Amino acid sequence: MTVRVRFAPSPTGMFHVGGARSALQNWIYAKQQGGVFVLRIEDTDAARNKPEWTEGILSALDWIGISRGSYEGPYFQSANAGEHRAAAARLHESGRAYYCDCTREDVQARTGSQYQGYDGYHRDRGLGPGPGHALRFRTPDEGATVVVDLIRGEPTFENKLIEDFVIARGDGSPVFLLANVVDDMTMGITHVIRAEEHLPNTPKQQLLWEALGVKPPIWAHVPVVVNEKRQKLSKRRDKVALEAYRDEGYLAGAMRNYLMLLGWAPSGDREIVPWSVIEDEFRLDEVNLSSAFFDEKKLRAFNGEYIRALPVAEFVDACQPWLTGTGTIAPPPWQPEEFDADAFAAVAPLAQTRIAVLSEIVPNVDFLFLASPLIDEAAWTKTMKDGSAELLDDAVAAFEALESWDAESLKSTLEAVGAERGLKLGKTQAPVRVAVTGRTVGLPLFESLEVLGRERTLTRMRAARLRLV
């Protein structure tokens, strides 16, 4: 039997990192089993779906290594509406489902208590189809539904505790539970790997599989991803969109490595490992049962390591979207014609060891391309103290006298200027850095000045000096 798994996102928003993790787990499982990965877009909630969300999912998957053309699909759930209705009709014909027109209030009035699920009133009343008549599944009164779950063993659900749930609404449209089952069935899905939040649906869905006469799939419910307060990651509260991480400059390799560590670890105390190791070693049945903390700080550190491991030329390539502002990435503060690829190449190795996400490249190098630096006023006030004007005067004079404009000469020259005042290099270079780059932190100063060049450096230092009059 060929293993067939699916990833079935609903295009109702940005692509959630938890979804990306499930997609990768499905992807790896299919690969390990010599199976097929199917992508199905669950787009039946017309009010909440937007085509651009679908496009976002496809491109985010592509980015993370699940590339278009290398999986089956995408299929669209909405295209299978006929099958969903036919299945509902079959369940009705076989007596496994019945019509009901009760409202919640009706049920409550009958049972005289808080609503605790449907009471089965219409089970044997023979109500026919009609506007406002929902179709309910007749759950067995006895026995239990045992779900075979690769992560959780065999969770068992008492059938008598499962209410006769709705499978088609009063307007005849099948609900998610049924559509999802019918699609999995039609697509020959053998293993359903998905988020834990769907576990409560699973006994109902398994009953539907059985009632439709097909052997249910094997399930695997992966634990939820939570924030530092152990709350489920939510799009209103947390940064959950994979696209947001991509646009900030996380590398796809770092991201997918990190996502796979949520609830699982490779052998030998390692965390940063080549993707091929993850593909070999990952085991669904080793995934932890407890929820997984999505630690952005750790992800940043990971990403920094991935950035440092790039050959410089690849790092330069990887920075391009932020240097030019492509796609959904904001453009940099300089004009395209101000950008100087050689100057960038000269400082790239210095930047590569210092940034954790690629977008940080921009504030580190903008001083090289802008006609005048973007002055951070707080940094200016903090740095330009009594004596800064005179120090800048002396530094300008000393730099003007330099024969060779190179990092080493610049450094020893400024060191000497500071020494005359009894200042250490750190204190001496701070006003120069702010004058030239606008900031207190950044790339190594003297290499930066070397690349910026004599004229531009001196002009900026003189301009800063004038501001201090």
Residues designated catalytic: 235
Specify the residue, 10 or 303, whose C-beta has the smaller distance to ligand GLU: 10
Which of 194, 204, 411, 460 is the binder for ligand GLU (CB under 6 A)? Answer: 194
Shortest distance in whole angstroms from residue 198 CB to ligand GLU: 5
Specify the residue, 16 or 411, whose C-beta has the smaller distance to ligand GLU: 16
The DSSP string of 160-217 is GGS---EEE-TTSPBPHHHHHHHHHHHTT--EEEEEGGGGGGHHHHHHHHHHTT-PPP
Report the distance separating Cα 7 and Cα 155, nearest Å.
Answer: 22
**How many degrees, rounded to 5, is the angle at CA 288 between CA 282 and CA 290?**
150
Shortest distance in whole angstroms from residue 180 CB to ligand GLU: 5
* Maximal CA-CA distance, the chain: 102
Report the distance separating Cα 31 and Cα 39, nearest Å.
Answer: 14
Per CB under 6 A, contacts with ligand GLU among 9-38 are: 9-10
Cβ neighbours of residue 269 under 8 Å, at least 6 residues apart?
none
| Binding flags for ligand GLU, 195-234, as an x/- string (CB under 6 A) | ---x------------------------------------
H helix intervals, 330-453: 341-352, 361-369, 377-383, 388-400, 407-420, 425-437, 445-452
Nearest to 365 by CA among 467, 427, 444, 306: 444
Q: How crowded is residue 82: how many other Cβ atoms within 10 Å of its Cβ?
A: 8
Task: Number of helices (H) and strands (E) in the chain: give both, helices first.
Answer: 19, 12
Shortest distance in whole angstroms from residue 246 CB to ligand GLU: 20
| Token representation of residue 138 | 């007749």
Shortest distance in whole angstroms from residue 8 CB to ligand GLU: 4
212 HSE (CA, 13 A, CB side): 27
Specify the residue, 48 or 385, whose C-beta has the smaller distance to ligand GLU: 48
| Binding flags for ligand GLU, 387-426, as an x/- string (CB under 6 A) | ----------------------------------------
Shortest distance in whole angstroms from residue 335 CB to ligand GLU: 43
Per CB under 6 A, contacts with ligand GLU among 33-72 are: 42
Specify the residue, 179 or 461, whose C-beta has the smaller distance to ligand GLU: 179
Specify the residue, 9 or 266, whose C-beta has the smaller distance to ligand GLU: 9
Cβ neighbours of residue 308 under 8 Å, at least 6 residues apart?
352, 353
Sole window of 83-91, 105-113, 192-200, 209-217 interacting with ligand GLU (rule: CB under 6 A) = 192-200
84 forms part of the interface with ligand GLU (CB under 6 A): no
* DSSP assigned state of 149: B
Shortest distance in whole angstroms from residue 9 CB to ligand GLU: 5
Q: How crowded is residue 428: how many other Cβ atoms within 10 Å of its Cβ?
A: 21
364 forms part of the interface with ligand GLU (CB under 6 A): no
Specify the residue, 45 or 338, whose C-beta has the smaller distance to ligand GLU: 45
Which of 25, 44, 139, 180 is the binder for ligand GLU (CB under 6 A)? Answer: 180
Contacts with ligand GLU by CB under 6 A lie at 8-10, 42, 180, 192, 194, 198
